[in-house]
Structure 1
């Protein structure tokens, strides 16, 4: 096993974990420090950092896959080779990674909204 495959695997894992935990972290910061993290900042950070992490996720997954094919010295199947080798997933992530980041934050935003309504509602 070469070092490149290990590094690509670790970077893929870090990008995936970062992408998955970014919305709860930003909403937690918003919950505890609302004056310091207004909605504009939360949504902007979520969009930009999520876009970068999603691009890293796709890039390192493709790099790990290519490295695995090189180590095994086997040609890729035709359907995978055409889709992956021309960079189609990387282009899609580059153009629409922000949409994936906002889409992943929607369930977290709904949970935050319900917690906020429960917190601000007076108890009888």
Structure 2
């Protein structure tokens, strides 16, 4: 039971690092392994943690992200209705676009915040 608990904690930490590594690689264009090292160093240097993302930034950004991603979903639906004949499937594609955008925006903003904080662009 103790070994399972330790394994779950380790996998959870790796999952959070992987999530931010992918965002960092997308922003900077670095390779995955380089991005993993740079992400870890960036978060450690700025005393940021995954708990910060889950508590503070999620609550602050949820409203903004919800509105922006809903606008993106409506635009996606409008484009699909205008250029294709998907019918009811255009609603499904718009909902999927909305869900995918919500998933990534908060993590990307968090990584951008850490990069800006590291450079001293924010106080």
Q: Give the structure-2-normalised TM-score.
A: 0.35
Q: Give the structure-1-normalised TM-score.
A: 0.35
Of structures 1 and 2, the one with the larger relative CO (CA 8 A, separation 6+) is 1
